[in-house]
Structure 1
Amino acid sequence: MSGTDGWVSTGLAWRDGRAVLSAVHGRRTHEREVLPGTEVGWRLGGPRRCIGALLVGRDERTPCPHRAGIAPDGGAVQCPPCQSVDRGLALARDQILDDGRTYRLYLAWFGEGLLKVGLTAEQRGTSRLLEQGALAWTFAARGALPAVRRAELTVSAAGLARERFKVRAKVDHWWEHGDAAHRRAVLTDARARAHELLHGHEVELLPGHPVVDQVGLFGLTGGAPAAYHAVEGLADGAVVAGRLRVPIGRHLLLDRPGGEPPLLLDTRLLTGWTLTPAPGRPPSGLSLVPRARPEAPDTQEALF
């Protein structure tokens, strides 16, 4: 099937606390809420295309004027020209010094030893923390973009938290993440230490902001499935199918019939493919990597 026409996946986003999958056809957009228990099935058509860019001053994504192709199994969802003008990437690369909006500095906990510092536009609410799959988080400060960015760099340079973690490192902590009291204590302490570092900065400190725990929201109270197959690559003609579980950040867990391990799909891999309904068809054409919960270390001393 040619991917030159039809609905092109633009991935998963969180809006008003709901996970939404979206696709575009020209300038038309279709959105579907990710509801646990829903059976889905999509056949992928290529080539995989750039999804365009979010431009400064616009709320709607602008389609790629080049209809450029992108790597079928890569993490990038935009061609280089669209990347160069995308508002979100420009912010991440410090190419926008100030845009007049208010930003919030956050601390996010992804697992033991994985404490992240970042910023998000106040108008986005908590969407960024949901999309990143933060297991727990708190806002630490607010202010104009230049001041919040300086605060982020200060916290990172002090070694209190890092600005980035690889997706695999976050996912591996889904099996074991301690209890809510521990997560709350880590973040509360980290926020207090961050405030000491930010004394004199031109930001409003938020000492009373609650610690928000998202483990239950993501269906991870008992941890991730003991075994699953991670989708590492997609191809033209592949079929993605299964029964949806609760989404985790931008990841989908799909149960398969017959007791096979569920699939874990990073929806960024789905982005850029043309989707056609494939009801009743099993998954096929997927590059899968089996993963399993690590065995607990044997702490019992040997008899001899």
Structure 2
Amino acid sequence: MSGWRCTGLRWPHDGPALGWARGDGGGPGRVSVLAYGKELGFRAEGERHCVGARGNPCPVGAVVPVRSTGARCAECARLDRAHSVAADTIADDPRPYRVYLAWFGPGMVKVGITGEARGAARLREQGAVVFSWLGRGPLMAARRTEELLRSALGVPDRIPYARKRAARAELPGAAERAAEIETLYGRAAALEGAGWPEALERLPFEPVDHAGVFGLGGAGPAARVVTGLVAGGVVAGRLVAAAGPDLHLETAAEGIVVLDTRLVTGWDLVGAAARAGISVPVVALGAGGVQDGLF
């Protein structure tokens, strides 16, 4: 894998895949489809570099902190956010959007929006265990509905990722998972006529459960989490589950270790023996230590 840099975990369809870009920034990228039960391993080399913005390489090839989930220098991070839906800078976007309710664990439901063309990929990228669409319409109508639910129902639009990861260790049954989000859907639907944008079409409640797609049913609880890579450090094990940006790797020495693939982006990686274990910094799950992103 020499000459390639990881661009993170993707969820194009019903399973995880790792994206790769050439280290020199030229030529097409590639994708490695992952399968549960298979072994994988890699070693980091050199320094971690900025991944650039909006598909363009960083003009200065800046070195970025190993413990940051952003993998961008300050200037590239600014450019990337300036063109994002979350920044509210593209109000005239003509594409249809969908509003969703996503459940990550008991008491953790958020509201959000995503481009209709992306389908449920955004929900898998966030690690949503269960979700349901709420409505569809123009961007600004979707955004106003998101704000309405935040203020009227007290539903957040962001949840710290460390909380999502911790809740994943002990999930209730499928019926209980769906029930909590159904209750909130009912409260949201009752707001029609009380500030609900006319341009937003309400969609029926249809819960989608990702526990099977993530492989969570057959995986044991994770014990430790990687806090960052180091030059020469190895991450290797048997893939037992994945959710959002996380890979759950079973190792002989550490048990199940969670690797947030946002910490992998920007590194040059080469293959390593799948049974080489973990030789990068780790902490007990829930102990923190990562500059976490909120989404």
**TM-score normalised by L of structure 1:** 0.85
Which of 196, 214, 220 is the equivalent residue of 1:218? Answer: 214
Which of 24, 36, 41 is the equivalent residue of 2:21? Answer: 24
- 2:46 aligned with 1:52: no
Change in 2 beyond 3 A, CA 1:138/1:280: closer
Matched residue SS, 1:12:
strand
Change in 2 beyond 3 A, CA 1:141/1:88: farther
| CA apart distance, 1:280 | 4.9
- Check conservation: 1:136, 1:214, Cα contact below 8 A: yes
- 2:247 aligned with 1:252: yes
- The worse-fitting range, judged by mean Cα deviation, of 138-147 and 197-206 is 197-206
* 2:131 match: 137
Matched residue SS, 2:37:
coil
Change in 2 beyond 3 A, CA 1:288/1:51: same
* 1:205 match: 201
Which of 129, 152, 163 is the equivalent residue of 1:158? Answer: 152
> Which structure has the larger Rg over C-alpha atoms?
1
- Check conservation: 1:34, 1:247, Cα contact below 8 A: no
- 2:12 aligned with 1:15: yes
Distance 2:170 2:222 in 1: 14
Matched residue SS, 2:156:
coil
1:89-104 pair list within 5 angstroms:
90-104=84-98
Change in 2 beyond 3 A, CA 1:89/1:110: farther
* 2:103 match: 109
- Check conservation: 1:160, 1:190, Cα contact below 8 A: no
Which of 165, 170, 174 is the equivalent residue of 1:171? Answer: 165
Deviations 1:257-287 (A, max 9, x none): 36x4121101001111100112256134311
Runs of 4+ more than 4 Å apart: none
Deviations 1:113-147 (A, max 9, x none): 10100000000000010111111000001111111
**TM-score normalised by L of structure 2:** 0.88
Distance 1:286 1:219 in 2: 25
* 2:236 match: 241
* 1:297 match: none
Read off the aligned partner of 1:48 and give its amino acid letter: R
Larger relative contact order, structure 1 or 2 (CA cutoff 8 Å, min sep 6): 2
Read off the aligned partner of 2:45 and give its amino acid letter: G
Distance 2:240 2:155 in 1: 31
Number of residue pairs matched by the alignment:
280
Read off the aligned partner of 1:140 and give its amino acid letter: L
- The worse-fitting range, judged by mean Cα deviation, of 230-239 and 102-111 is 230-239
Matched residue SS, 1:247:
strand
Distance 1:13 1:276 in 2: 20
- Check conservation: 2:238, 2:274, Cα contact below 8 A: no
Distance 1:281 1:267 in 2: 19
Distance 2:263 2:240 in 1: 18
Distance 1:66 1:153 in 2: 38
- 2:224 aligned with 1:229: yes
Matched residue SS, 2:184:
helix
Read off the aligned partner of 1:18 and give its amino acid letter: G
Read off the aligned partner of 2:231 and give its amino acid letter: D
1:267-282 pair list within 5 angstroms:
267-280=261-274, 282=276
Read off the aligned partner of 1:186 and give its amino acid letter: E
Consecutive unaligned residues of structure 1, counting only runs of 5 or more, are 55-60, 293-304
Distance 2:76 2:192 in 1: 35
Matched residue SS, 1:265:
strand
